[in-house]
């Protein structure tokens, strides 16, 4: 029988909630008691609700921590479940965990947790507490805001794959015959990343165009990342290259007023593992267009890129590089399991991505779930045993479970993450 000691509804967040809920759930500890008895002193199921709360990178975490009761008092078990839930939440938020024990001890009351600490855990609340025969479950809710200087993932190399940038309205490219801009822009962007953001690289440019403004295409993005062994996808569409040419005055027919050309680029940055959107932004400029309507402009030439229009486009691409670098700076190094060999795994990230021998990685699986109103979400099933890098190569690594644990039910195309 379950003894429900406390149950409180989750308070509604005043911020607007994005359409993404990530559920991270460890496997139940009682499935393989002989193997995991020591590992599973405390476990956590995490429900991450990413929301706009007026702070960049802030996130609400609902965390259900579990702890075995055997060998300790109920209060100790409750403290352990609370600490485990909070520790896992902070790990996945990219925050430090040095203060977990301080936060957990003494904060549990009959109604709520309330704490201010280091600018990382802005608020901590108790939702409910359920006692089972062998273990206790404690559900908390925490508002976690990692400090920028504690972003351990900033040093990881982030790899992108992109495609040609389609011109959404091809007729606009007839003025100056600039349709090749679709192919030239991603190459120019690749060079900009090389110059301005050494920790982020465009690893591949697929030689075709993709209609990134279509949702059904975006949902297929992880396939592109897998084909090119990239962590992220940058999809871009040129949605406006129209030209405005003022009419000639009958009194000044010898004059040729400078035309203005627009440039609008809509960009999506997607998680190559799971397809989630990390950035959606539009870049828009207007600049003088010095070329005649009937000219055939070589958009790969220095003449084009030194023109006022070319310089303005190049400046926007530099802004795009800075924005993408900022978005990806604190993202974990994520890869796939490419081979399972006994009690070791071969994974698709290595030294190029900042991995080194001794690093500890999470292993997890994903599934798509449907909410009560038809929304689809990604569910993350976190494996109970972490793995350690035993050999690191350029773009792959060999990992083994820590503490001589066993790897069970891990398959190729499962995921690993270094935070």
For 5-19, what is each residue's pLDDT tens digit?
443 333 333 332 222
95 and 20 together in one domain: yes
Give the pLDDT mean for 112-127: 55
What does residue 404 show for φ and ψ, rounded to 5 degrees? Answer: 55, 30
Chain segment 196-219, per-residue pLDDT in tens: 888 899 999 999 998 887 878 887
pLDDT tens digit sequence for 227-251:
898 899 999 999 999 999 887 644 4
Tell me whether residue 404 is in a domain.
yes
How far are the Cα atoms of 274, 331, 374 from residue 368, in angstroms, in the given order? 10, 21, 12
Residue 47 corresponds to which tokens in the numbers above?
Answer: 């429900």
For residue 405, what is the domain's CATH number? Answer: 2.40.10.410
- Apex CA 394: angle with CA 417 and CA 414, to 5°? 30
45-54, 149-158, 305-314 — most confident range: 305-314
Residue with tokens 């870049």: 283
Residues whose CB falls within 8 Å of the CB of residue 399, separated by 6 or more in sequence, listed in order: 344, 345, 347, 361, 387, 388, 389, 390, 416
Does the pLDDT at position 288 exceed 90?
A: yes
> Which of 106, 129, 150 is the last residue in one of the domains?
150
Q: What is this structure's pTM?
A: 0.59
Do 340 and 303 lie in a common domain? no
The domain boundary, picked from 90, 116, 150, lies at: 150
Q: Based on the domain organization, do 324 and 336 belong to the same domain?
A: no
- Residue carrying the six token digits 């055997």: 70
Q: 226 and 352, same structural domain?
A: no
**Average pLDDT of span 370-377:** 74
Please, how many CA atoms are within 13 Å of residue 61, restricted to the half-sphere of its CB? 31
Per the model's pLDDT, the better-predicted residue between 165 and 55 turns out to be 165
Tell me how many degrees the CA angle 34-39-44 measures, rounded to the nearest 5: 120
């Amino acid at each position: 029988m379950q003894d429900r000691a406390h149950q409180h509804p989750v308070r509604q967040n005043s911020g607007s909630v994005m359409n993404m809920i990530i559920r991270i759930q460890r496997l139940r500890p009682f499935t393989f008691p002989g193997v995991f008895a020591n590992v599973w002193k405390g476990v956590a199921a995490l429900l991450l609700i990413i929301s706009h709360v007026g702070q960049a990178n802030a996130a609400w975490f609902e965390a259900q921590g579990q702890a075995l009761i055997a060998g300790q008092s109920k209060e100790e078990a409750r403290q352990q479940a609370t600490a485990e839930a909070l520790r896992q939440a902070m790990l996945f938020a990219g925050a430090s965990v040095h203060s977990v024990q301080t936060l957990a001890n003494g904060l549990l009351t009959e109604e709520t947790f309330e704490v201010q600490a280091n600018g990382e855990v802005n608020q901590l609340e108790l939702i409910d507490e359920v006692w089972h025969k062998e273990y206790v479950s404690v559900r908390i809710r925490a508002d976690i805001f990692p400090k920028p200087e504690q972003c351990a993932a900033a040093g990881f190399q982030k790899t992108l794959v992109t495609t040609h940038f389609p011109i959404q309205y091809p007729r606009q490219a007839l003025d100056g015959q600039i349709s090749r801009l679709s192919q030239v822009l991603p190459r120019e962007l690749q060079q900009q990343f090389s110059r301005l953001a050494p920790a982020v690289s465009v690893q591949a440019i697929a030689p075709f165009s993709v209609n990134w403004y279509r949702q059904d295409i975006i949902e297929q993005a992880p396939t592109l990342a897998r084909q090119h062994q990239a962590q992220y996808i940058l999809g871009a569409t040129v949605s406006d290259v129209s030209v405005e040419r003022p009419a000639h005055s009958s009194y000044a027919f010898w004059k040729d007023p400078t035309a203005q050309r627009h440039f609008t680029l809509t960009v999506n940055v997607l998680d190559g593992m799971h397809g989630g959107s990390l950035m959606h932004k539009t870049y828009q400029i207007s600049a003088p267009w010095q070329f005649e309507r009937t000219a055939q402009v070589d958009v790969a030439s220095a003449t084009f890129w030194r023109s006022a229009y070319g310089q303005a486009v190049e400046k926007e691409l530099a802004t795009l590089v800075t924005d993408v670098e900022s978005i990806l700076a604190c993202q974990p190094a994520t890869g796939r399991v490419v081979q399972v060999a006994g009690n070791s795994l071969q994974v698709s990230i290595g030294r190029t991505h900042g991995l080194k021998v001794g690093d500890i990685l999470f292993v997890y699986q994903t599934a798509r779930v449907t909410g009560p109103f038809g929304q689809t979400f990604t569910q993350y099933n976190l494996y109970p045993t972490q793995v350690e890098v035993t050999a690191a190569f350029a773009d792959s690594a060999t990992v083994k479970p820590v503490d001589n644990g066993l790897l069970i039910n891990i398959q190729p195309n499962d995921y690993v993450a270094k935070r």
